Amino acid sequence: MFTALLIEQLLNGLQLGVMLFLMAAGLTLIFGVMGLINLAHGSLYMIGAFACAAVAAATGSFWLGLVASLAAAAGVGALIEVAVIRRLYDRDHLDQVLATFALILILSEGARWLFGSFPLYLDIPKQLQGAVPLPGGGQYQLYRLAIIAVGIAVAIGLYLLISRTRLGMRIRAGESDREMIAALGVDISTLYTVVFALGAALAGLAGALVGALQSVQVGMGEPVLILAFVVIVIGGIGSIKGALVGAVIVGVVDTMGRFLLPSLLALTMPAAQATTIGAALASMLIYVVMALILAFRPSGLFATRS
Amino acid sequence: MTRETTVNLLITLLLLGLPLVAAGMGEPFYVTLATRVVVLALAAVGLNLALGLGGLLSFGHAAFFGLGGYVAGILATHAFNAEPLFAGIPGTTSMPLIWLAAVVVAGLVALPIGAISLRTTGVYFIMITLAFAQMIYYFAISWPAYGGEDGLSIYVRNAFPGINTAQPLPYFLICFAVLMAALLLFRLVEGSRFGSALQAARQNGVRLAAVGIPPFQIRLVAFTLSAMITGLAGALYADLNRFVGPSMLSWHMSGELMVLIILGGKGRLFGPVAGAMIFVCLEYVLGGITERWQFFLGLILLGIVLFARGGLLGLLSGKPRHV
């Protein structure tokens, strides 16, 4: 029974990690190519979830909702890039932080204006309802397995996009020398808009997928945003490989910490006390891991720039 | 007298004068609003030391603000329930003691956080300070002993010897005096050898190291000092609201503190004060007009960041002398 529980929790950790990867990949791509910290990335996640929930409620189809979430997040992302973000590339990090902080206020309040303060609910699509038996007894939700599969597919897709296509070649060139690529005749501002919209679409996809597991509400993006920051700091800012490894580390450490710490502490102290202390410590665990990693590798595991 | 000194003097007079007039007219609400300005300004003066002088973009100062608040709340609760804190040490309702404890706790927490975070620079530093603040935030939420998610109420405002703190005006004057002391300290630090080294560390750490001053130590001291001032502000804020909750530790608070500095003018003595005045006024005026005030606050902030660089002081008193 314990093995089944352990496998279940490991899969939960992997699912969290995969979802964080979708967020972190966009963040790290935007930082790597444009040198921009985007705090509003969590709002794009929220927009994806709201678009999916609203369209799914109107049409009855989760899949149409998923398409809508990609379109809405990419669309809003492109709009923000053209209207605001474009002016921030040559500013210092402080201005970027503040401008994107202002965007969060605008987008959160805007979403509350449009959809009201009550959370929306999104059902898991029929095809993915049900559970799969696990080795060692127990069952696992099919939908969460599907999320893991989507995450792996996106990771492979991103790898192919960046290493094999013309767009990917331009993105890599933009990362290493933006003036040279502009001098060679590549329309750099369109490239930036495309990269930003791509990152936004990934965040929107993550929001829509998770929306079916939790409730869809204003502010849902913020905890995820901060976890995604931890992920890219651990992985090395600008590195997609780092984002993948960091996301899996954070997802698994967080989930396993919450699962194992209370029972480990229960060996040395009364059960009630162990539960509270264990829960409090588990909520801090990933930050401790981050501090440890940074103490030895100050620019992350797979740093691309010094 | 330079133009900036004149502007600073005007701001001080305005900040001191308006609550006195409001109290005279029997409008205690505006005195409380002004106290909020003063306390937020104090927190931002702390951050300004790290961010403005040292160029350290800490996105985690809410941690120290909240810690100061929790110190006040926890000490007052223990005194109220007559339970010893630990090892027989009693709680207290004396403000000077609480302030001392808040400053010490903020400093002791800032030291290890700074020591780890300052190994990194740029975006990494921003995100790591943010992550540490979140760590403390989640700890406060999941630790049930002091209210957890619900926070902690302070039933009676803590006492200051010889002053009735329960009245809005005396409490405002206490906070105002603390703010003035902090501004004086900021000025002294700025003009000292340490302050020159700190500003040199912002401009070029490598050169500073080349003349034999290690930037890391300078930055660590500045970060810790900055956290201590912000922690003190947190204790005052908890007493102002007679409540302390995890929202004081949240990253929105860190963002707000940065916003105050930018609104007023980064690295300038009175920048945080001017910023806090604008911010609280905007919050109050917009909040009175529309329920969606955050939306418009965001738009205004965005406009200021994009188009009005240098903040209010930049607008009123021109470019700073050395930046």
Q: Which residue is associated with the tokens 């020398």?
A: A177
Q: Which residue is associated with the tokens 């314990």?
A: A2
Handedness of CA B188, B251, B171, B169 (dihedral sign): positive
C-alpha A39/C-alpha A104 separation (Å) is 7
Chain A partners of B203 at a C-beta cutoff of 8 Å?
A: none
Q: What is the DSSP letter of A140?
A: E
- Give the closest-approach CA distance of A291 to chain B in angstroms: 7
- The answer to whether the CB of A240 falls within 8 A of the CB of A28 is yes
Q: Percent of chain A scored above 90 by pLDDT?
A: 41
C-alpha B48/C-alpha A61 separation (Å) is 52
- The answer to whether the CB of B19 falls within 8 A of the CB of B31 is yes
Opening angle at CA B262, ends B272 and A300, nearest 5: 115
Beta carbon pairs, A and B, within 8 Å: 120
A88 in any annotated domain: yes
**Paired residues of A141 in beta bridges:** A131
Domain boundaries, chain B: 29-251
Nearest CA in chain A to B144: A276
Residue B1: the pLDDT is: 64
Q: Choose the closest CB to B301 out of A102, A222, A276.
A: A102
Handedness of CA B264, B265, B266, B272 (dihedral sign): negative
Q: Is the pLDDT of residue B141 over 80?
A: yes
- b/e string for A243-265 if b means 16 or more Cβ within 10 A? bbbbbbbbbbbbbbbbbebbeeb
- The answer to whether the CB of B319 falls within 8 A of the CB of B76 is no
Confidence of residue B121 (pLDDT cuts 50, 70, 90): confident
List Cβ neighbours of A74 (8 Å cut-off, separation of 6 or more).
A197, A198, A200, A201, A204
Dihedral of CA atoms A167, A171, A176, A179 in degrees, nearest 10, equals 80
Q: Percent of chain A scored above 70 by pLDDT?
A: 99
Q: Is the pLDDT of residue B90 over 90?
A: no
- Give the closest-approach CA distance of A286 to chain B in angstroms: 9
Cα A197 to Cα A65, A204, A262, distances in angstroms: 18, 10, 42
Question: CB distance from B127 to chain A under 8 Å?
Answer: yes
Q: Among candidates A255, A170, A200, A229, which has minimal Cα distance to A80?
A: A200
Q: Do B294 and A109 lie within an 8 Å CB cutoff?
A: yes
Q: Among candidates A55, A33, A70, which has minimal Cα distance to A182?
A: A33
Q: Among candidates A148, A187, A152, which has minimal Cα distance to A170?
A: A187
Confidence of residue A306 (pLDDT cuts 50, 70, 90): very low
**Residue B64 in 3-state DSSP?**
helix
Domains in chain A: how many in total? 1
Q: Do A233 and B139 lie within an 8 Å CB cutoff?
A: no
Give the mean model confidence (pLDDT) for residues A153-178.
88
Predicted-assembly ipTM surpassing the 0.95 threshold: no
Nearest CA in chain B to A94: B57
- Rg of chain B (C-alpha set): 19
- Angle at which helix A93-115 crosses helix B293-307, to 10 degrees, equals 150
pLDDT in tens, B236-283: 999 999 899 999 999 889 999 998 998 888 888 898 999 999 999 988
Question: CB distance from B130 to chain A under 8 Å?
Answer: yes
**Interface test with chain B among A27, A239, A285, A287, by most B beta carbons within 10 Å:** A287
A263 in any annotated domain: no
**Residue B29 in 3-state DSSP?**
helix
Chain B partners of A108 at a C-beta cutoff of 8 Å?
A: 294
- The answer to whether the CB of A120 falls within 8 A of the CB of A54 is yes
Tell me how long chain B is.
Answer: 323
Q: What is the DSSP letter of B52?
A: I
A266 in any annotated domain: no
C-alpha B120/C-alpha A294 separation (Å) is 8
Expressed as residue numbers, the domain containing A12 is: 2-218
Q: Choose the closest CB to A294 out of B128, B298, B301.
A: B128
C-alpha B41/C-alpha B313 separation (Å) is 14
Q: Among candidates A19, A239, A253, A280, which has minimal Cα distance to B124?
A: A239
A255 in any annotated domain: no
A294 in any annotated domain: no
- The answer to whether the CB of B127 falls within 8 A of the CB of A294 is no
Q: Choose the closest CB to A31 out of B59, B123, B294.
A: B123
List Cβ neighbours of A182 (8 Å cut-off, separation of 6 or more).
A188
pLDDT in tens, B201-236: 999 888 999 999 999 999 999 999 999 999 999 999
Q: What is the DSSP letter of A137?
A: S
Nearest CA in chain B to A87: B306
**Interface test with chain B among A283, A292, A304, A305, by most B beta carbons within 10 Å:** A283
Q: Is the pLDDT of residue A304 over 70?
A: no
**Residue B94 in 3-state DSSP?**
strand
- The answer to whether the CB of B251 falls within 8 A of the CB of B61 is no
Dihedral of CA atoms A230, A232, A233, A238 in degrees, nearest 10, equals -160
pLDDT in tens, B22-38: 888 888 889 999 999 99
From chain B residues 219-258, the ones with a CB under 8 A of any chain A CB are: 251, 255, 258
A130 in any annotated domain: yes
Chain B partners of A229 at a C-beta cutoff of 8 Å?
A: 127, 130-131
Residue B41: the pLDDT is: 96
Give the mean model confidence (pLDDT) for residues B288-305.
87
Q: Which amino acid is at A232?
A: I
Q: Which residue is associated with the tokens 């194992």?
A: A260
A35 in any annotated domain: yes
Residue A209: the pLDDT is: 92
Q: How far apart are the first and last CA of chain A?
A: 47
Nearest CA in chain B to A279: B142
Question: CB distance from B305 to chain A under 8 Å?
Answer: yes
Q: How many CB atoms lie within 10 A of CB A297?
A: 13
Nearest CA in chain B to A32: B123
- Rg of chain A (C-alpha set): 20
pLDDT in tens, A224-256: 998 998 999 899 888 888 999 999 999 999 999
A147 in any annotated domain: yes
Residue B320: the pLDDT is: 64
Taking an 8 Å Cβ-Cβ cutoff, which residues of chain A contact chain B? 31, 37, 84, 87-88, 93-95, 97-99, 101-106, 108-110, 112-113, 222, 226, 229-230, 232-233, 237, 276, 279-280, 283-284, 287-288, 290-291, 294-295, 298-300
C-alpha B43/C-alpha B45 separation (Å) is 5
